[in-house]
């Protein structure tokens, strides 16, 4: 089962990928001093986290976008575990977001999942408003860096095209 991590004061918080578009593996990475934590997650989780943080930042005064950090320092590393759930909180007194990632639980029965959940990993990260804003911009670029979307159905298009359901399954070359 997973390892727990608690990094309340981060130096860096980013998302990155390993692999080619269409076969990319997404990672969330946090670093505080000498400690680095890398977790595996889905593209949709990265996008949802960026969207939620962006929404939460809407009423917070931030420096101009040009003053946000751009080198978020993603390094390829072995993921501790795969993220199942993400929770986001905000502490306005210390001007930090708290992101809690919980390990994905996969059991064959409900009882087995409950037993596994007791040993599942949890990671807690505290990031500043500026770090959150930089993460949003970077995460959106990482997510957009994949395969282009089909103009008719919105699904990803492979280099050789794809069978678009809106064209009754006929191959579409883009």
Helix (H, G, I), strand (E, B) or coil at 3: coil
How far is Cα 6 from Cα 20, in angstroms, rounded to an integer? 31
Pairing of strands 5-7, 122-128: parallel
How far is Cα 99 from Cα 118, in angstroms, rounded to an integer? 20
How far is Cα 159 from Cα 156, in angstroms, rounded to an integer? 10
The whole-number pLDDT of residue 20 equals 83
Model confidence at 42, pLDDT cuts 50, 70, 90, reads very high
User: Which residues share a beta bridge with 96?
Assistant: 91, 128
Cα–Cα separations (whole angstroms), residue 114 to 121, 147, 153: 13, 37, 38
Q: Are 139 and 46 in contact (CB under 8 A)?
A: yes
Q: Which of 6-10, 22-26, 91-95, 147-151 has the lowest mean pLDDT?
A: 147-151
Please give the model's pTM, rounded to 2 decimal places: 0.80
Domains of the chain: 5-172 (3.30.2450)
Calculate what percentage of the chain has a pLDDT beyond 90.
49
How far is Cα 122 from Cα 104, in angstroms, rounded to an integer? 10
**Residue 127 tokens, joined:** 């990031």
Q: How many residues does the chain have?
A: 174
Q: Return the DSSP state at 166.
A: G
Question: How confident is the prediction for the chain on average, in pLDDT?
Answer: 85
How far is Cα 3 from Cα 121, in angstroms, rounded to an integer? 5
């Amino acid at each position: 089962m997973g390892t727990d991590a608690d990094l309340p004061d981060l130096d860096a918080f980013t998302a990155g990928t390993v692999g080619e578009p269409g076969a990319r593996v997404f990672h969330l990475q946090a670093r505080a001093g000498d400690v680095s934590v890398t977790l595996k997650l889905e593209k949709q989780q990265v996008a949802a986290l960026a969207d939620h943080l962006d929404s939460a930042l809407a009423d917070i005064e931030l420096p101009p976008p040009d003053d946000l950090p751009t080198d978020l320092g993603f390094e390829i590393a072995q993921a501790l575990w795969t993220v199942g759930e993400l929770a986001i909180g905000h502490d306005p007194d210390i001007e930090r977001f708290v992101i809690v990632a919980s390990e994905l639980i996969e059991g064959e029965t409900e009882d087995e999942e409950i037993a596994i959940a007791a040993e599942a990993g949890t990671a807690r990260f505290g990031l500043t408003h500026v770090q959150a804003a930089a993460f949003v911009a970077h995460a959106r670029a990482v997510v957009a860096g994949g395969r282009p979307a089909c103009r008719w159905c919105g699904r990803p298009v492979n280099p050789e095209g794809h069978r678009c359901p809106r064209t009754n399954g006929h191959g579409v070359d883009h």
